[in-house]
Amino acid sequence: MTAALLRAESAWQAARRQRRLATLLGLAVLLACLLAAAWVSEVRPATLAEGLPRVGEYFWKILPTLRWDTLLAGSEAEGSLASWFYRLDSWAWLLFETANMAALATLLGAGAALLLAFPAARNLGAGTLAYQLSRRGLEAMRTVPEIVFALILVWAFGVGPLAGILAIALHTAGALGKLFAEAIENAPRPAWDGARAAGGSWPQACRFAVLPQVAPNLLSYALLRFEINLRSASVIGFVGGGGIGQELYTVIAQNYYEEISAIVVLILIAVAGIDLLSERLRHRVIGAMGSA
């Protein structure tokens, strides 16, 4: 009995040493990969030490010159909040335009993703051709960044919100399509099998057996994507996609430092507000659907 215990203890210790060795080897390989990636990307400590003060210098430049004695005075008073946000009306409209771009792009992208997600789900048996076409199409749409789509579409449709909306919608369709398809693949099978056994067609089984089960997850993904698209819509304006991003690019190019900080603050407030609103709406709707 004692000999058996000693052999078991020896085997456990050997397995433990082997696991530790494998862990150390894995960490060593990971460290080597990180160092190689840093070298290829030219991430040098000296470069970081030289560049970080410049970042701080730029942020110092864009800080507004505010004064306590005139802080709440009119736009004509130097050092007041009103003078800092002297174009608040036009910037607010551009922010509203950016939010509209994000909302419309999310709707278009989510609709396309929903149509492509069912044939892209492996477990629904849509056929090899439909599966491969939908999968590869979704991969192509999410692989290309929104800003590249925007550059192409600005050339096709001209400068304005339309190019930005279509660019974000294309990338959204690819990203959401993958998430939607994975949610569908994780759905329980009995409802699907029952619908098909009762004589339901493939589209009918998708609509009445699968969609009700995965709808809360799909809605959660779509609302989360709306939050992401609001940030993307602000960047798309840099290449002529309209919205507040186009105005931000203009003031950056012309070195209007205080206007840069004013627009950035407005974008931060808008993104934070919409994030909070979208989160509350997502939890409320998903909770209602879960209890139904």
In a domain, 66, yes or no: no
Q: Are residues 18 and 150 in the same domain?
A: no
In a domain, 16, yes or no: yes
Same-domain status, 255 and 150? yes
Rounded to whole angstroms, the Cα distance separating 232 from 115 reads 23
Kindly report the CATH number assigned to the domain that includes residue 132: 1.10.3720.10
Query: pTM for this one?
Result: 0.76
Task: Specify the pLDDT at position 72.
Answer: 76
Together in a domain, 114 and 192: yes
Number of domains in the chain: 2
What is the CB neighbour count within 10 angstroms for residue 166?
24
In a domain, 63, yes or no: no
Find the domain containing 26 and state its range.
Answer: 2-46
Q: Which of 160, 155, 158, 146 is nearest to 109 (CA)?
A: 146
Give which of 185, 175, 187, 183 is closest to 113, Cα–Cα.
175
In a domain, 175, yes or no: yes
pLDDT of residue 175: 94
Same structural domain, 41 and 100? no
Whether residue 93 is found in the same domain as residue 148: yes
Given 28, 46, 64, the domain boundary residue is: 46
Q: Are residues 114 and 251 in the same domain?
A: yes
* DSSP label of 123: G
Per-residue pLDDT 10s for the chain (292 aa) are: 567 667 777 778 788 888 888 899 999 999 999 888 888 877 777 777 777 778 778 888 888 888 787 777 777 777 787 888 888 888 888 888 888 889 999 999 999 999 999 999 888 877 889 889 999 999 999 998 888 888 888 888 887 788 889 999 999 999 999 999 999 988 888 888 888 888 888 888 888 888 888 888 888 888 888 888 888 888 887 777 777 888 888 888 888 888 888 888 888 888 788 778 777 776 776 666 555 5
pLDDT score for 136: 92
Are 26 and 106 in a shared domain?
no
Q: Is residue 67 part of a domain?
A: no
The reply to whether 55 falls in a domain is no
Q: Are residues 92 and 34 in the same domain?
A: no
Q: How far is 80 from 88, CA to CA, in rounded Å? A: 13
Q: Are residues 143 and 36 in the same domain?
A: no
The answer on 240 and 149 residing in a single domain is yes
pLDDT of residue 287: 66
Is 51 inside a domain boundary?
A: no
